[in-house]
A and B are shown apart, each in its own frame.
Chain A
Amino acid sequence: MDLQIFIAFFIILRLRKKFKTKTAFPQWEKILLGLMFVCIALFTVQASFNFLKPLSGWIANGVVAVVLGIIYLNDEFSSERPTMFAVLPLILVSFVEDVFKLISISFYNKIHYFFEAASFFAFIWMIALLIINNKQRKALIKEQSKTHEEEQKNKFMASMKAQLEIQVAERTAELTSQKETLEEALTELKTTQAQLIQSEKLASLGELTAGIAHEIQNPLNFINNFSEVNTELIEEMKEAIAKGDSEEVLAIAADIAANEQKINHHGKRADSIVKGMLQHSRNSNGIKEPTDINKLADEYLRLAYHGLRAKDKSFNAAMKTDFDRYIPPINVIPQDIGRVILNLITNAFYAASQPSALPDDTVAANHKTPTVWVTTALIPPTEDEGTLVSLTVRDNGPGIPANIMDKIFQPFFTTKPTGQGTGLGLSMSYDIITKGHGGQLTVHTSEGTGTEFTILLPA
């Protein structure tokens, strides 16, 4: 029967192609190739010699059995088993047919319609199974490609993740370096701020220098003058002694003693000015000590006045003081409070000598004498607060415009032309009073009338 040979040939071809036996399974390739030649030989024999047909049919049955056996017994061809099951019925029918032919050809002839029908159904079965197998195979391939796709996707994601991690690391490094740069900038800023504070101190010292020179010159003049007078008096005393005028001698001696006291007084005055100057330029040691606030205010008022006076010859202003004599010494850092007082007074003198900003100001108001009032007072305790000492610095300048009122305590804010003010005076003053001494620094201003700064310190 031709069918077995076709099927065997077809299956062998399929096996060789599918499993690439030429390269993958050389040992099977030999056998399969051999079987293939057998098939071709059988085919040729059947076509040429009709009498050899039954024998070749049995050899074909054997070849088919061997091929199917190979597929069934060897795991490497397991994926071809569905094909085996597809062809099996057809082969079995052919085999049985051959068996009947061999036993009794006449009986076979009687029932050969039955075999034809069985072959037909087996053939349909084969086709159907092959189609189903093919479909399943395609689905499997699809599934495999899907898995492969997913794997690719996963790989891609993994590589993306790695890339992201690198980016994150890069960003982190960038941010860290930025942070370091910022920290450096901050340190630099702090240093600059410290330097600015120092230069503000030096600037105020510069303002003071002329005042200090004037303040020292006066006592020195007195010291020189009184000492010259004493030299003269001693000569006169000698003359009086020679004359024996003891009354005159005693009078002169009293004068000399009085002059010595004056010399001593002015010497001390110069001394305290120099000490105050040193204290002002020195970095604050932060030690609070009992201080006469009136004396401190008076000292800095004079220094500020003479300092401005020396800088600008045409500057003149009236100073009016009203000190409360009953203020006890209060615990403050003298150089710090001195700095605040100096700052407020210098500002007040500056403001007082400014022309009024109001356009409708009368001529008389424009010709008012620039005046600065410094007032101290003891404020009795209330329910909320203990005894306070107030120090008020008032000027009759143009006042502070409303639009800059909330800025005056800000660091670096100044209304003076560039280079003339550091803009640190009031902000430093505010810090010294509030943070350094637990006090208050308040301001009241009225445009065209003047400004009043008040320091409140706990007594």
Chain B
Amino acid sequence: MKILVVDDERDIQTLFEQRFRKEIKDKSLEFVFAFSGEDALIYLNQHEHEAVLILSDINMPGMSGLELLGHIKQKYHKPPPMVMMITAYGDAENFNMAKQLGADDFLTKPVDFTLLKEKFKLIY
């Protein structure tokens, strides 16, 4: 299963690669990284239908996670991939907005990787 992780913090890549080293090793999970909403859209345009799941931060300079979500769910990809939103501000407003825009799930930082693994298992 290919997962696209979108976050402006570059160290998120190292973190995911270490956290899911076993899964990456036995190829049950494959990660690609984008460091802005704009980059994520470019990647999705170039690799249509490759990513099954998108994990996106909400707070990013430029295109925010919610805008990216809107683009993915409304204008791109049929059927659209699953999108999980991650944010530092675990507030109701962002949560409702994300749900309204069609987010499949909602996580708050710091990410609970055990929980995330459980969620991945349910998908694949």
| Contact residues in A for B11 (Cβ distance below 8 Å) | 222, 262, 265-266
Q: Say whether B9 contacts A218, CB under 8 Å.
A: yes
A225 to B62, CA, bound (A): 26
| Contact residues in B for A319 (Cβ distance below 8 Å) | 61-62
A266 to B67, CA, bound (A): 28
Question: Of A56-64, A308-316, A379-387, A400-408, which stretch is located at the interface?
Answer: A308-316
Question: Of A93-101, A103-111, A226-234, A436-444, which stretch is located at the interface?
Answer: A226-234
A interface, over-half SS: helix
Given A222-B11, A305-B61; A217-B19 close (CB under 8 Å): no
Query: Does B15 lie at the interface of the complex (its beta carbon under 8 Å from any beta carbon of A)?
Result: yes
Given A222-B15, A258-B14, A259-B18; A228-B113 close (CB under 8 Å): yes
Query: Does A354 lie at the interface of the complex (its beta carbon under 8 Å from any beta carbon of B)?
Result: no
| Contact residues in B for A229 (Cβ distance below 8 Å) | 15, 18-19
* 8 A Cβ contacts from A118-142 to B: none
A316 to B36, CA, bound (A): 14
Q: Say whether B94 contacts A313, CB under 8 Å.
A: yes
Q: For B93, give its contact among A233, A258, A309, A313 (CB under 8 Å).
A: A313
Q: Say whether A217 contacts B109, CB under 8 Å.
A: yes
| Minimum Cβ distance to chain B for residue A211 (Å) | 11
Count residues of A near B (Cβ-Cβ below 8 Å).
Answer: 28
Query: Does B88 lie at the interface of the complex (its beta carbon under 8 Å from any beta carbon of A)?
Result: yes
Q: Say whether A262 contacts B14, CB under 8 Å.
A: yes
| Contact residues in B for A224 (Cβ distance below 8 Å) | 110
* 8 A Cβ contacts from B21-72 to A: 21, 59, 61-62, 64, 67
A228 to B110, CA, bound (A): 12
| Minimum Cβ distance to chain B for residue A187 (Å) | 46
Q: Say whether A318 contacts B91, CB under 8 Å.
A: no
| Minimum Cβ distance to chain B for residue A135 (Å) | 117
A382 to B110, CA, bound (A): 52
Closest to B114 in A: A228
Q: For A217, give its contact among B15, B61, B62, B88 (CB under 8 Å).
A: B88
Q: Say whether A218 contacts B14, CB under 8 Å.
A: no
Q: For B15, give its contact among A226, A313, A317, A318 (CB under 8 Å).
A: A226
Query: Does A221 lie at the interface of the complex (its beta carbon under 8 Å from any beta carbon of B)?
Result: yes
Q: Say whether B61 contacts A318, CB under 8 Å.
A: yes
| Minimum Cβ distance to chain A for residue B105 (Å) | 18
| Contact residues in B for A217 (Cβ distance below 8 Å) | 88, 109
A255 to B18, CA, bound (A): 8
Closest to B92 in A: A313
Closest to A222 in B: B11
Closest to B97 in A: A313
Query: Does A214 lie at the interface of the complex (its beta carbon under 8 Å from any beta carbon of B)?
Result: yes
Query: Does B1 lie at the interface of the complex (its beta carbon under 8 Å from any beta carbon of A)?
Result: no
| Minimum Cβ distance to chain A for residue B22 (Å) | 9
| Contact residues in A for B61 (Cβ distance below 8 Å) | 305, 317-319
Chain A to chain B: the 4 pairs with minimum beta-carbon distance, closest first: A221-B110, A318-B62, A229-B18, A319-B61
Cβ contacts A to B, 20 pairs, < 8 Å: A214-B59, A214-B89, A218-B88, A218-B109, A220-B110, A221-B111, A222-B15, A224-B110, A225-B19, A229-B19, A233-B18, A258-B14, A259-B18, A262-B14, A266-B11, A310-B89, A313-B94, A316-B64, A316-B67, A317-B61
Given A214-B89, A319-B61; 11 other pairs, CB 8 A cutoff: A218-B88, A220-B110, A221-B109, A221-B111, A229-B18, A233-B18, A259-B14, A262-B14, A265-B11, A305-B61, A316-B64
